[in-house]
Amino acid sequence: MKVLKFGGTSVGSAESIRNVKAIIESQNERKIVVVSAMSGVTNKLVEISTHLQSQKGENLPSLLQELKEKHLKLISELFPDSETQRVTNHLFEMQFAQFEEVISQEYHEGLEASIVTFGETFLSFIFSRYLENEGLSNTLLDAKDFMQISSVENPDIPTVEKLLQETLKREISSDLYITQGFVRLDRNRNISTLNRGGSDYSATIIAAAINASEVQIWTDIDGFHNNDPRFVENTSPLLNLTFEEAAELAYFGAKILHPQTVSPVKERNIPIYLKNTFTPKAPGTKISSDVKSKGLKAISAKDGITAIKIKSNRMLMAHGFLRKIFDVFDKHETAIDMITTSEIAISLTIDDNQNLDRILLELDAYGEITVDSEHSIICVVGEDVINDKDTFRLFELLNELPVRMISYGGSSNNISLLVDTKNKVEALRLLNRKLFEKTVHTEN
């Protein structure tokens, strides 16, 4: 069985959904299809939740009307037969009434998750009805029946497997199942999410639970490129990446993939294919355990980074000093991305400033603290990258731009540079010229 995931732009219009139908029809193997909300819908639902939380409901009726009309318009375009359209509209109106019942509750912690996951609920229902009407028999599954994920960072795959198998036995057997991405139940069985972009992660969790033959993630981009095509010209698509390379690129800012997508399928050696819904014949990128080539492969960048420097002549080399520093970040559940040390100072970076003030207050006891915000980590990735004959050229960046930190050694596949965000685009372009434009990789 395969798992296919289609993102918001892939299901963002009637025309796009017809493309998705053609892709599904072209593949004979049994499938579970994971869908996101229509593009723009989750943002609209977040806006509705924010209005409810702030108790400023003057714009709420218009927001609800926009949300309803967007889906009714999709139904009218997908179901030209008036009777089928009437029945589908009626069923959707019943779902929307359930949504209105949810938002009528007094706002409480956790209500936002119930609200924002309705986007996937609406779209999966319409999509399933459309496929059925077009002759593609399918069974619609409710992801809340089996996506019991207590820890987003460490999902319990055996639990999902058990619940999913029970769901499949209970529902009508089919060669095609449709379900929702993004949504999960937490340890208390309350509705929660896998965070923004989490439908990719849903797909690989499900794939691991059923030991799928492969996962296909369909977006509006032809797979990974060796640099960010939004900022850099003359980027090249990558035909192959290892699990480790893809995980590094995703974690350090490559928007095409949710950062945790790779982890559920890596141990089970289930390949991931990144494909473009709108150019389905393009090869895309295959992510697997196969090492097709070593050395420099790609660059990505992660914004919103804060650098913290702790300078202490007295304590840095003292036994237990680093542990005490790390304990501060652990206490406040804040992950560290990069770290470098010198004789009298330690520099590190974080991408979550939620508890920064409390962290700094505790760190003040250990030395002189310097904080630099608005930075970006630029990540140069490739299997055994340090031994590539061209890797030395990335350090030529030091001649042209200030670099706050350089980190290598935590992974043999990654060298990270910290730069001021205002210099990020120039750094990406310079690195592209230095590392890739003189050496064309024909097999990636």
pLDDT, one tens digit per residue, over 339-396 is: 988 778 899 999 999 999 999 999 998 889 999 999 999 999 998 888 888 888 889 9
| pLDDT confidence of residue 442 | 43
Checking if the pLDDT of 55 tops 80, the result is: no
Checking if the pLDDT of 112 tops 60, the result is: yes
pLDDT digits (tens, 9 = 90+) for 126-154: 999 999 999 999 999 999 999 999 999 89
| pLDDT confidence of residue 316 | 58
Select from 336, 351, 349, 335 the least CA-distant residue to 253. Answer: 351
In this chain, the answer to whether the domains covering 2-220 and 298-435 adopt an identical fold is no
% the chain with pLDDT above 90: 76
| pLDDT confidence of residue 405 | 93
| pLDDT confidence of residue 309 | 94
- Locate 3 and state its tokens: 């798992």
Looking at residues 163-187, what average pLDDT do you find? 96
Select from 41, 55, 183 the least CA-distant residue to 107. Answer: 55
Select from 271, 273, 254 the least CA-distant residue to 414. Answer: 254
- Looking at CATH, the fold of the domain delimited by 298-435 is given as VC0802-like (3.30.2130)
Confidence of residue 56 (pLDDT cuts 50, 70, 90): confident
Give the chain's mean pLDDT: 92
Checking if the pLDDT of 436 tops 60, the result is: yes
> 227 with 235: CB under 8 angstroms?
yes
pLDDT digits (tens, 9 = 90+) for 381-433: 998 888 888 888 889 998 999 999 998 867 778 899 999 999 999 999 999 99
pTM value?
Answer: 0.90
pLDDT digits (tens, 9 = 90+) for 283-316: 999 999 998 888 899 999 999 999 999 988 666 5
Confidence of residue 265 (pLDDT cuts 50, 70, 90): very high
> 12 with 39: CB under 8 angstroms?
yes
| pLDDT confidence of residue 251 | 86
Higher-pLDDT residue of 28, 253:
28
| pLDDT confidence of residue 440 | 45
Checking if the pLDDT of 441 tops 50, the result is: no
Checking if the pLDDT of 239 tops 70, the result is: yes
Domain ranges in the chain?
2-220, 298-435
Dihedral (C-alpha) 164, 165, 166, 168: value to the nearest 10 degrees? 90
Confidence of residue 70 (pLDDT cuts 50, 70, 90): very high
| pLDDT confidence of residue 312 | 81
Checking if the pLDDT of 439 tops 70, the result is: no
Q: According to the CATH classification, is domain 2-220 in 3.40.1160.10?
A: yes
Distance CA 177, CA 166 (A): 14
| pLDDT confidence of residue 252 | 86
Confidence of residue 438 (pLDDT cuts 50, 70, 90): low
Checking if the pLDDT of 24 tops 90, the result is: yes
